[in-house]
Amino acid sequence: MEVEFKAMLDDLDVLEKSLSDPAPIHKLRSHVENLATLSKCNPHRRSKVKELSSEVVDSNPYSRLMALQRMGIVDNYERIREFSVAIVGIGGVGSVAAEMLTRCGIGRLLLYDYDTVELANMNRLFFRPDQVGMTKTDAAVQTLAEINPDVVLESFTMNITTVQGFETFTSSLKNKSFCPSKEGTGVDLVLSCVDNYEARMAVNQACNELSQTWMESGVSEDAVSGHIQLLVPGETACFACAPPLVVASGIDERTLKREGVCAASLPTTMGVVAGLLVQNSLKFLLNFGEVSPYLGYNSLKDFFPTMQMRPNPQCSNVACLERQKEYMLAKPARDAAAKAKMEADALTAIDDGPLHDDNEWNISVVDDENEKDTTKASSSSDTLPEGLTRELPVADEYEKAIAIGPGETEEEDDLEDLKKQLEALNAA
Amino acid sequence: MEVEFKAMLDDLDVLEKSLSDPAPIHKLRSHVENLATLSKCNPHRRSKVKELSSEVVDSNPYSRLMALQRMGIVDNYERIREFSVAIVGIGGVGSVAAEMLTRCGIGRLLLYDYDTVELANMNRLFFRPDQVGMTKTDAAVQTLAEINPDVVLESFTMNITTVQGFETFTSSLKNKSFCPSKEGTGVDLVLSCVDNYEARMAVNQACNELSQTWMESGVSEDAVSGHIQLLVPGETACFACAPPLVVASGIDERTLKREGVCAASLPTTMGVVAGLLVQNSLKFLLNFGEVSPYLGYNSLKDFFPTMQMRPNPQCSNVACLERQKEYMLAKPARDAAAKAKMEADALTAIDDGPLHDDNEWNISVVDDENEKDTTKASSSSDTLPEGLTRELPVADEYEKAIAIGPGETEEEDDLEDLKKQLEALNAA
């Protein structure tokens, strides 16, 4: 559009010189200038942020994330900007995972997909109808860059299961230009969000070869269950250690799906799986909570099974067997390091005073060993700050009542009380 | 912009009449027409769909949802277009819940919020930086209408906790113009996605008064846990039946939060809670799976507690006590209806033949009562369709091995085999 505006203004200049009265030209020129302004003001993008600030103002896009430090959940949230995460498959799960990491302010995202956006994808979050026909990677970069310009986005529009695609995939994972000091590969985590066996095996192969930790995710064809899984080469089962019982052989698995039949999908199941996947990733990267080795989601019964899978010593994947051997060889060093850390932690614990000498929430820690202190602490915590009242009687009153002893009279009185209350209710 | 284009074309008409040579005007006019076309082509919206189709083509936005019928999950997915859902609070959970329901093709959404979009909200899904300054309801309608023009959107930019706001809220829930034949209120479900006690109590009050089923949701201030809860007035506990232990009294609870302190939030936790909430809503509306009465989410340990809460006969909410009485009075009729249904179901079960006489997935159902059939069925299922191979030996081979009997020789041979395999592996 800018080119058109420039051309119009030039034409108006020429025309003005040939006219005796310049007034109509001035009017036209102001129209053009108005239009140029209107066309520019939308979309409004936010400017980049140099350093994450925890300042609590409406204009700070990171205030609610930096609050995780104040709340004691994460030690150093700012580290998120150093991390690179690769997401393979930008569909119903991968696109939402990418958006979540982008909104969390991840340092760098690598996106892999070869598909294009269709109207048939609109029953899942993320893509918009106006992006139909774009490649999923291009559409994702368009949306994500607008949401958070601080994230470095690299997109790879290709199929990682082809020979050339696989090579590009592994070499992109090895590229360390974003954070040259990093150990291992150039990425901190690979998330597999693909929908077929072949692609999962390709991610598995690359990660086994590179000794790269990754997480796998999946959603069932009937749209009502899913899972996430952590895979650490050599330490946990790889994808080939316990493969699906039945797989395609010799022919492309996509042609196995009969014409006119398609898998069901729901934005809910995919959103939950993406949320669990990125939550597990944040716990892994930022070192908080417990990273789940496997977490299932059965939405019909709201059942969330967990399990742990050790590597299969007869795994068909040669690279997996190599990683298993390395892991076993490193066991003595790992045990020694763990022991040293435990001893150091124990020493620090003795040296330290109370964890929170003073805290903002007026929470007092009760020492079990000192009965007197307990009583004092609990009675002082009964006094609520101004502006707060209790909706239910305090627990102490209940304890006092039962502390009277097992005397029958007291209990009968309670029953009488209850009966009276019930009668009063019925009468009301 | 359209007004500006129209004005320019009019001015050019006037100018053309005063000139001897019309060529420069023609050139200018073609520029204006180009610009008008460019400004219109984006954003591209999809047209409305009259009836949900299950046709499997890329251009069908409902194909993956209608597939839920084919997969046997939902009996009649099309019913979704008859339902109205009210969402109170269009923040980190409510906005994502609204988007999920919109993408599922819900009939009508009622949105309530009084807040505006800020950059500080960008760490959660849904709102975009270019919407900063808009009311959350306006921004939501803008985004949702673009995603799915089939959904009827009604937005209420107001605070439901004020006297007037509460009245508008209840009368909007009672409005039955969308589906006049519907029993009860004009909505099928209310979702509470608010972040404070006062607003929850307002939703609770309205739903108790109207005998309206609703679901409550919440996310903790430290951003790492949340919950959803189903509330059926009279049948389950209402929000006042088991209130939080400490609440604000006399003063506005927002002023209790000290300056410079804000709650943490994560797109992951909020996305998971929104997903669980809408999944439970879909199960409730479309009658599949088990609707959860309460589901917690502890993300640090990936723990999902469930529980059931019966109403408190001493609840402080008068409308709740009325609903409880009604529920008790209707018990005999309810029991009789349940018994009649069970008997009818039992009769139908006898009349019916096999559930799926022929099925597309070549799954054969094994009859426990007939041993011969069992053997036949299991051996016929051993033969996989063309293009499929087994990654692991079939279970039958394992069974055959142990079926030989408890003879020691056989077992020793197995051990010998294993030893040989291990040696071969070590030698490799």
B101-138: per-residue pLDDT in tens? Answer: 999 999 999 999 999 999 999 999 999 999 999 999 99
Instruction: Using alpha carbons, select from B88, B137, B96 the residue that is nearest to residue B115.
Output: B137
Contacts A128 to B, Cβ<8 Å = 43, 146-147
Tell me the residues of chain A between 150 and 189 that have a Cβ less than 8 Å away from chain B: none
Enter the tokens of residue A425.
């209710």
* A–B interface: beta-carbon pairs under 8 A: 359
Same domain for A80 and A27, yes or no, is no
- Tokens 């959603």 locate to A219
Contact A282 B268 (CB under 8 A): yes
Region A141-151: mean pLDDT is 96
Tell me the residues of chain A between 250 and 269 that have a Cβ less than 8 Å away from chain B: 250-251, 256, 258-269
The residue among B2, B115, B262 with the most chain A CBs within 10 A of its CB, best to mutate, is B262
Separation CA B370–CA A301 (nearest Å): 31
Q: What is the CATH number of the domain that holds A216?
A: 3.40.50.720
Beta bridge partners of B303: B298
The residue among A16, A93, A103 with the most chain B CBs within 10 A of its CB, best to mutate, is A103
Q: Is B223 left (phi over 0), alpha (psi -120 to 50) or beta?
A: left
Q: Strand B108-113 and strand B84-88: pairing?
A: parallel
Q: Give the model's pLDDT for residue B380.
A: 42
The residue among A45, A123, A281, A284 with the most chain B CBs within 10 A of its CB, best to mutate, is A123
Contacts A296 to B, Cβ<8 Å = none
Contact B125 A99 (CB under 8 A): yes
Residue A18 lies in a domain: yes
Same domain for B36 and B141, yes or no, is no
Q: Minimal Cα–Cα distance from A261 to chain B, Å?
A: 7
Contacts A250 to B, Cβ<8 Å = 387
User: Which tens digit of pLDDT belongs to each residue from A340-376?
Assistant: 999 998 887 665 555 555 555 555 555 544 444 433 3
Q: Give the model's pLDDT for residue A51.
A: 86
Same domain for B263 and B154, yes or no, is yes
How many structural domains are present in chain B? Answer: 2
Same domain for B303 and B205, yes or no, is yes
Contacts A48 to B, Cβ<8 Å = none
Is a pLDDT exceeding 90 seen at residue B12?
no
Contacts B120 to A, Cβ<8 Å = 57-61, 63-64
Same domain for A145 and A269, yes or no, is yes
Same domain for B92 and B200, yes or no, is yes
User: Which tens digit of pLDDT belongs to each residue from A268-288?
Assistant: 999 999 999 999 999 999 999
Q: What's the Cα-to-Cα distance from A229 to each of A294, A349, A372, B404, rounded to whole Å?
A: 4, 34, 49, 38
Tell me the residues of chain B between 5 and 34 that have a Cβ less than 8 Å away from chain A: 5, 7-8, 11-12, 14-15, 18-19, 24, 27-28, 31-32, 34
Which among B5, B302, B425 has CB closest to A313? B425
Q: Give the rounded percent of residues in chain A with a pLDDT score beyond 70.
A: 75
Q: What is the DSSP string of A112-126?
A: EE--B--GGGTTSSS
Q: How many helices (H) and strands (E) does chain A have?
A: 14, 9
Contact B321 A425 (CB under 8 A): yes
Q: Minimal Cα–Cα distance from B137 to chain A, Å?
A: 18
Q: Minimal Cα–Cα distance from B27 to chain A, Å?
A: 8
User: Which tens digit of pLDDT belongs to each residue from B257-307?
Assistant: 545 567 899 999 999 999 999 999 999 999 999 999 999 999 999 999 999
Rounded to 5 degrees, what angle do the CA atoms A277, A295, B230 make? 90
Same domain for A165 and A218, yes or no, is yes
Is a pLDDT exceeding 90 seen at residue A25?
no
Mean predicted lDDT score pLDDT of chain B: 84
Region A308-315: mean pLDDT is 95
Q: Give the model's pLDDT for residue A374.
A: 38
Per 3-state DSSP, chain A is made up of helix, strand and coil in percentages (nearest 5) of 45, 10, 40
Same domain for B267 and B174, yes or no, is yes
Enter the tokens of residue B4.
């500006």
Among A33-42, A82-91, B59-68, the minimum mean pLDDT is found in A33-42
| pLDDT-based confidence at residue A77 (cuts at 50, 70, 90) | very high
Enter the tokens of residue A238.
């790889």
Residue B327 lies in a domain: yes
Among B25-39, B246-260, B344-358, the minimum mean pLDDT is found in B246-260
Residue with the bigger pLDDT between B241 and A18: it is B241
Contact B44 A388 (CB under 8 A): no
Compute how many other C-beta atoms are within 10 angstroms of the C-beta atom of residue A68.
Answer: 23
Rounded to 5 degrees, what angle do the CA atoms B312, B314, B319 make? 80
Q: Strand A84-88 and strand A189-192: pairing?
A: parallel
Same domain for B266 and B321, yes or no, is yes
Mean predicted lDDT score pLDDT of chain A: 84
Residue A67 lies in a domain: yes
- Tokens 């493969």 locate to A243
Q: Minimal Cα–Cα distance from A387 to chain B, Å?
A: 5
The residue among B21, B40, B46, B63 with the most chain A CBs within 10 A of its CB, best to mutate, is B63
Region B14-21: mean pLDDT is 83
Same domain for B32 and B79, yes or no, is no
Residue of chain B whose alpha carbon sits nearest to that of A318: B428
Which among A118, A245, A262 has CB closest to B392? A245
Contacts A70 to B, Cβ<8 Å = 261, 264
Residue B67 lies in a domain: yes
Q: What's the Cα-to-Cα distance from B330 to each of B206, B242, B324, B334, B346, rounded to whole Å?
A: 22, 24, 10, 6, 25
**Beta strands in A242-338, from DSSP E residues, in sequence order:** 246-248, 294-298
Range of the domain at B179: 62-336
Instruction: Label residue B378 exposed, middle or buried (CB < 10 Å: 0-12, 13-18, 19+).
Output: middle
Tell me the residues of chain A between 185 and 224 that have a Cβ less than 8 Å away from chain B: 221-224
Q: Strand B152-157 and strand A388-390: pairing?
A: unpaired
Q: Which residues of B are catalytic?
A: 262
Domain boundary among B306, B336, B366: B336
User: Which tens digit of pLDDT belongs to each residue from A253-273?
Assistant: 555 554 556 789 999 999 999
Contact A147 B275 (CB under 8 A): no
- Tokens 């007939």 locate to B370
Q: Give the model's pLDDT for residue A404.
A: 43
Q: Give the model's pLDDT for residue B277.
A: 98
Among A150-164, A179-193, A237-251, B261-275, the minimum mean pLDDT is found in A237-251
Same domain for A205 and A281, yes or no, is yes
Same domain for A81 and A27, yes or no, is no
Contact B302 A290 (CB under 8 A): yes
| pLDDT-based confidence at residue B308 (cuts at 50, 70, 90) | very high
Enter the tokens of residue B375.
């053997």
Tell me the residues of chain A between 75 and 94 that have a Cβ less than 8 Å away from chain B: none
| pLDDT-based confidence at residue B157 (cuts at 50, 70, 90) | very high
> Residue B393: which H helix or E strand, with range?
none
The residue among B239, B249, B299, B417 with the most chain A CBs within 10 A of its CB, best to mutate, is B299
Is a pLDDT exceeding 90 seen at residue B43?
no
Residue A371 lies in a domain: no
Q: Give the model's pLDDT for residue A370.
A: 45
Residue A84 lies in a domain: yes
Question: Edge-to-edge strands of the sheet including B152-157?
Answer: B152-157, B108-113, B84-88, B189-192, B214-219, B225-231, B294-298
Q: Which residues of A are catalytic?
A: 262
Tell me the residues of chain A between 108 and 127 that have a Cβ less than 8 Å away from chain B: 118-120, 122-125
Contacts A61 to B, Cβ<8 Å = 119-120, 122-123, 129
Tell me the residues of chain A between 290 and 309 that have a Cβ less than 8 Å away from chain B: 290, 292, 295, 299-302, 304, 306
Enter the tokens of residue A140.
């994702």
Residue A378 lies in a domain: no
Residue B25 lies in a domain: yes
Contact B146 A123 (CB under 8 A): no
Is the confidence metric ipTM above 0.85 for this complex?
no
